[in-house]
Structure 1
Amino acid sequence: MLLAPDTDGYAAATRPRNSSTPQRPGRVARVTSPGDLATALREVAALETSSGRRLQVVPQATGHGAGAPVTDDTVLLDTSGLADVAVDPDARVATVGAGATWAAVNAAAERHGLLGLAGSAPSVSVSGYTFGGGIGWLVRRHGLASAALRAVHYLDGEGRSRVAREDAAEETDREALWAFRGAGGVGVAHTLELDLVPVPDLHAGALLWDAVALPELVAAWADTLDSAGAGVATSIAVLHVPPLPLFPEPLQGRVAVHLAVADPDGPDGAAPLLEAVRSVAAPVSDTWGATDAAGLARIHLDPPAATPAVGAARWLDAATPGLAADLLATAAEPGSPVVMLELRHVTGAPAGRDGALVSAPGDFVFHAVGPLGRSTREQIGSAFARARSVWSAADTGLTPGSWVDGAASVTDALPPHVRERAAAVADRVDPQHRIRRSRLLG
C-alpha cells in the first residue's frame, strides 16, 4: 500500500539517518517482505496511469547515505522492514534482508565465532554499505565488504524477481553481481548472501586525549604503522567533543585526538602502536581490550542520534603519514565547521572476488564531517577546501562514495570505465529508468 504524506508511516520513512536534505516524496511504499516489492512497483505503475505523471522509485533502508532530493515525483521504497537474518555457521554465510543492520547481523554471527565485514556504525544497513564497497574494522585482514558478497536477490525495473550470482544462467545477472560489488548495485535488492569470517581473539578500543598533544600523537601513530600486525586497523582523528555522557567530562566541549584501534587476532599486533601513543601522554579515556561485536561498533564514537551533516572523503596513497599532522590540524581549531576529521589506515587490505570495487584504491582514507546548523554548507565547504590543499599531495583520484555524507552524487567514486560498465548494467536491468540509480553512477 502506498502511503500519503499525512500518514504516520510516511513520516517515519522520510526521516533518514542523514537528514541534511528534506525528503518529501509523493508516496511511501512500506516493504516488509520480498513479495511486497513487486506489489509496490505495480501500485506505482497504477498511480502513474491515474495521475498522468511519471514517477521514480527511490529505495532507502536507513538513509545513512541520503543526500539527493526526494520530491513529489518520486515514491520512496522503504526497505527497512526487510530485516531477517539467518546464519549458516558451517558455510560461514549470512542470508539477510536488505534493510538489516550490521548490529543485527553480527549479533547473530558472533554466537558462532564469526563476524561480517561491518562498518564503523552499527545502525548502517548491510545493503547500501556493501554495495558501496564497505570499509570496516576488519579491512586489513579480510578486505572490502563488497568482495564478501556471494549473491543478491533483486527485482528489475519491470518487477521481475532475479538472482545475481557468479553462476547465474543469464549474463545480466552475472553482470548485476559485479555491479552490486562496489558500484552501488542495480534494480531493487531484497536479500543478500554474505561471507562471514572467523574472529579468534577480537580486541578493540578508543583512546582520547586533549588535542594539545596532536603533533606528538600523530608522529607516534605514523612511526609505528609499519610495525603493526597485519590485521590491525586504526583511525586517528580530530574530534570536537559534544557535551554528552558518551564522552569523559574533562573533554566535553573541547577538541580531542581520537585513536580507534581494532585487531581480530588478539592484543599483540597493536602493542607497539599503543605503547608509543601512551608514552606521549596518558589518555583521558582508554577502552582498549578484549571485546565483542557491540564493543567493536562503539570505537568510532558515532553520534547516537540522526544528524544533518555533509561530508568529504578521499582515498589517499602511502605518502599520507607524512602530511597527517598538517591535515588533522586543519580541523583542530575551536569552532571549526568540521567536527570530525580522520585518517583510516587500510594498507595491505586484500583484494577479493571480481567486482566493480573489491580492492582498496589507496593505503589510507581521509574522512571529514561538518554538521549543518552549527555551520552553513559554505563554511563547511571552505573547511573541506583547506583540508584538500593538504591531502591533494597524496591523492589517488578516487573517493570512497559511501563516506561522503549528504551528497546527491559521487561521480569520482569509480574509475570512468568501471562507472560506464556499471551504468550499462543498470540500463539492462531497468531500461525505463524507473528505479533511481546509485549516486556512485552520477
Structure 2
Amino acid sequence: MRNDLLAWPGSAAYQAATTPRNSSVTQQPAVVARPQSAGEAAEAVRWAADRNLGVAVQATGHGAGAPIGPHRVLVDTAALDTVSIDAGARLARVGAGTTWSALNSRAQRDGLFGLAGSSPTVSVAGYTFGGGVGWLTHPYGMASSALVAVDYIDGDGRLRRATEDAPNPVDRAALWAFRGGGGVGIATSLTLDLVAPQAVWAGYQLWDITALRPVAEAWAQAMSDIGDALSTHISVVHTPPDWPFPTRLRGVPIVHLAFASPAGPDAAAPLLRALRGAPPPVLDSAWAPADAARLAQIHLDPPNPTPVLGTGRWLSATTPKLAADVLDTAAAPDSPTTMIELRNVGTPAPARDGALTKAPGPFVLHAVGRVTDPDSRAATENGLTRVREAAESADIGQAAASFAQGRAKVADALPPVAGQRLVRLQTAIDPERRLTPSRILAALTGA
C-alpha cells in the first residue's frame, strides 16, 4: 500500500476530503483513502472489508447528503481526474473525479462538448449517474444516455467493467444502473459520448424582484415557440451582499433568466421577443457566442461551499401556467427558500436503455434553502413544502433525485419496476452491503 494512500483524522488531507461542496452534513470517517488509480481504489475497499468497515465515495461533494461516521472509510476519488478524448469517435474517457470544466475545456479544442450541468465544479461521474440535466439536454438528451462504459469496483474490492456487451450479465446490468439510477459499486472511470454543436450561444439577464411576474409571463409565453434547441433556467435567487453586480441586486431576492443553445443566435429569438413586454433587465450579459467556460458561468453558482437542503421534481407541460406562482414562493426577503428555478428539459433525442435516460417530464423544478442548524433546517423544509404545494398540479409524481441536495434518501425517483431491478442488482454486486448506496438505493433498501 502506498504510504500516503490513507489520510487520518487531524491531517490536512483528511480535512480537505471531508469538507464537501454541500457542507450541510458532517463527515467523520475512520480514515480517508485517496487513490490515484483504480487499483488503489480497489485496495482501499479490500482494506475496509478486512476491518469490517463500510465504504463511502466522494469526489467534489456537490451530492453530499448523508453523514459519514467512524464506521466507514471515505474513498476520495478527486485524484482520479484523467481526461482522454477520441475526437474521431466523439468519445471521452475520464476518471471518476474529473469535473465538467476539466472535460469540456479539453473537448472544445476538437469542437466537442460533453453534456455538462450548470455548475463547472460538479464531477462528471456523480452528475451522469444521477441522470444529468444541463444546458445541452435540450436538444441532445440527458448525460446518462451518453454513457457508454463504466469501470467500477464491487463490494469485495474487485475491478469490473460495465458495458452493453460485457461477458457477465451483472456487468451489463450495472451499466443500466449507472445510467441515471445513481449507480452501483464504486466507479473509477467513465466513457461517454460527446456532441459537436453547430454554434453554442448563451446569455443571462437579471431583474429586481418587482419584475418577477412580467418576466415569468414572458418566459411562459415563449415556451411554446422555442422549439428543441433552447434551454432556459428561470429562477428567483437570494443574492449575497458582496455579489459582484449592481448594488440594487445585492443581498436581496432577484429574478435570474439564463438561456443557452447549440444552434446559433436565432434559437433565442422567441424568448427575446417575449421579453420585450417585460421591464428591461438591470443587467444583461448579452446573448452571444459561448465557449465551455462561458456556458459554465451563466447559472451564477456560488463560488464557495454552501450548506443547503434541496428538492427536485419532474413537472408536466402545464408548468408555464404556474411559473409565476411557483417562483413567488421564494420572493419574500425572509423566505427560507433561497433559490428556486424552473428548467425546460424536454427533448426529442433518442435515449439508451437505462434506469433514467430520458426526462420523465418536460420541465424540472429545483429549489434549495440554507441550513446551518436545526432551526434553519426546519424552516427550509417548510419553505420547500410550500414550493412543492405551489407546483403540485404540474407534478408528475416523480422526484428529480440529483437536485435533492443534502438528503440521504429520495423515495420516488424511479418507477417501482426500475427500483426493484436496482435493488436486485445492488445485492448481486455488494451482497454484504459494504458500500454506501446512492440516495435512490438508500430509500429503496432502507439503508
Residue in 1 that maps onto 2:356? 357
Paired amino acid for 1:30 = R
4+ residue runs over 3 A deviation: none
Distance of 1:349 and 1:257 partners within structure 2: 29
Identify the residue that residue 334 of structure 2 maps to in structure 1. 335
Displacement of 1:279 after TM fit?
3.6
CA distances 1:231-258 after superposition (whole Å, capped 9, x unpaired): 1000111111212343333211222110
Aligned to 1:266: 264
Question: Equivalent residue for 1:241?
Answer: 239
Q: What's the TM-score, normalizing by structure 2?
A: 0.95
Which ranges in structure 2 are unaligned for 5 or more consecutive residues? none
Distance 2:350 2:206 in 1: 32
State the Cα deviation string for residues 329-360 of structure 1 (Å, max 9, x = none).
Answer: 11101121111111101123534110000100
Give SS of 1:376's match: helix
Letter in 2 for 1:250: R
Deviations along 1:409-433, one digit per CA (max 9) or x if unpaired, are 1121111211110111111111111
Q: Does the CA-based 8 Å contact 1:229-1:270 persist in structure 2?
A: no
Q: Is the 8 A contact 1:204 1:291 kept in 2?
A: yes
| Equivalent position of 2:37 in the other structure | 33
Higher mean Cα deviation, 287-296 or 344-353?
344-353
CA distance in structure 2 between the partners assigned to 1:349 and 1:366 by the alignment: 20
Distance 1:252 1:83 in 2: 36
Q: Percent identity?
A: 51
Corresponding residue for 1:51?
Answer: none
Pick aligned residue for 1:183 from 173, 181, 184:
181
Paired position in structure 2 for 1:158 = 156
Return the letter of the residue paired with 1:90.
Answer: G
Letter of the 1:424 counterpart: R
Specify the SS of the correspondent of 2:367: strand
Is the CA contact 1:200–1:265 (under 8 Å) kept in the aligned structure 2?
yes
Secondary structure class of the residue paired with 2:235: strand
Deviates more, 1:171-180 or 1:237-246: 237-246
Describe how 1:377-388 pairs up with structure 2 within 5 A: 377-388=377-388
Equivalent residue for 1:306? 305
What is residue 61 of structure 2 aligned with on the other side?
63
Report the equivalent of 2:48.
44
What does residue range 309-320 of structure 1 map to in structure 2 within 5 Å? Answer: 309-320=308-319
Write the distance in 1 (CA, Å) between the matches of 2:191 and 2:205.
35
User: TM-score normalized by structure 1?
Assistant: 0.96
Instruction: Output the CA distance in 2 between the equivalents of 1:241 and 1:290.
Output: 26
CA contact (8 A) 1:92 1:195 kept: yes
Q: Which residue of 1 aligns with 2:215?
A: 217
| One-letter identity of the residue aligned with 1:402 | S
Q: Specify whether residues 143 and 154 from structure 1 end up closer, same or farther in structure 2 by C-alpha distance, changes over 3 A only.
A: same
How many residue pairs align between the two structures? Answer: 436
Deviation at 1:400?
Answer: 1.0
Over the aligned positions, Cα root-mean-square deviation in angstroms equals 1.2
**Are 1:396 and 2:400 counterparts?**
no
2: CA distance, partners of 1:376 / 1:199:
43
> 1:72-91, CA deviations, whole angstroms, 9 ceiling, x for partnerless residues?
00100111110000111000
Cα pair 2:24 2:372 within 8 Å, conserved: no
Contact in 2 for aligned 1:155/1:161 (Cα 8 Å): yes
1:440 and 2:444 aligned: no
Using the TM superposition, name which of 259-268 and 276-285 deviates more: 276-285
The answer to whether the 8 A contact 1:129-1:402 is kept is yes
For 1:409, the equivalent position in structure 2 comes to 409
Deviations 1:246-293 (A, max 9, x none): 333321122211001000110101112012214411111112211111
> Are residues 1:168 and 2:172 paired?
no
Q: What is the identity, as a one-letter code, of the residue corresponding to 1:21? A: V
Equivalent residue letter for 1:293: A
Q: Which runs of 5+ in 1 are unaligned?
A: 49-53
For residues 89-147 of structure 1, give each alpha carbon's deviation from its aligned partner in whole angstroms, at most 9, with x where no partner exists. Answer: 00000000000000000001001111000001000000011001000111111111000
Alignment correspondent of 1:421:
421
Equivalent of residue 136 in structure 2, options 135, 138, 144:
138
- AA aligned to 1:175 is A
Structure 1 residues 402 and 133 mapped into 2: Cα distance closer, same or farther (>3 Å)? Answer: same
Matches within 5 A, 1:262-301: 262-287=260-285, 288-301=287-300
CA contact (8 A) 2:214 2:277 kept: no
The structural deviation recorded for 1:170 is 0.8
1: CA distance, partners of 2:317 / 2:41:
45
Deviation by residue 1:202-231 (Cα, 9 ceiling, x = unmatched): 001111011111111111110111111311
Contact kept? 2:49, 2:156, Cα under 8 Å:
no
